[in-house]
Amino acid sequence: MTSHEQVIALGVLNALSAARLVPDDGQLASASTMAIPHRGAADDLFRENTFLAIRSLRMAIEAGDDKEKLESLHFAAVEAATLWVEARSSSK
């Protein structure tokens, strides 16, 4: 995979790490935008899983779910992004 993909994955991870678990958080929106899977690209399950984890977190924030659930979903999103970064690092 390209170094560009690794840079995107790292950007998502950094944005997730800086995100606050509040509605309309800019870092979380940025992470979500960067993680959107691209049409026509080869299947990238790491990217797709990260995007889905972020989307679940954003939906829970908007729904006003409790702090424990939000923290759990945030952890899952960070873990998904970490796996994506590791996959891009090892595929050079």
pTM: 0.91
Question: What pLDDT does residue 77 have?
Answer: 98
Higher pLDDT pick, 39 / 5: 5
In whole angstroms, what is the distance from residue 44 CA to residue 72 CA? 24
Question: What pLDDT does residue 42 have?
Answer: 61
Backbone angles phi, psi at 66, to 5 degrees: -70, 160
pLDDT tens track for 11-69: 999 999 999 999 999 999 999 999 998 776 566 899 999 999 999 999 999 999 999 99
82 CB burial (10 A radius; 0-12, 13-18, 19+): middle
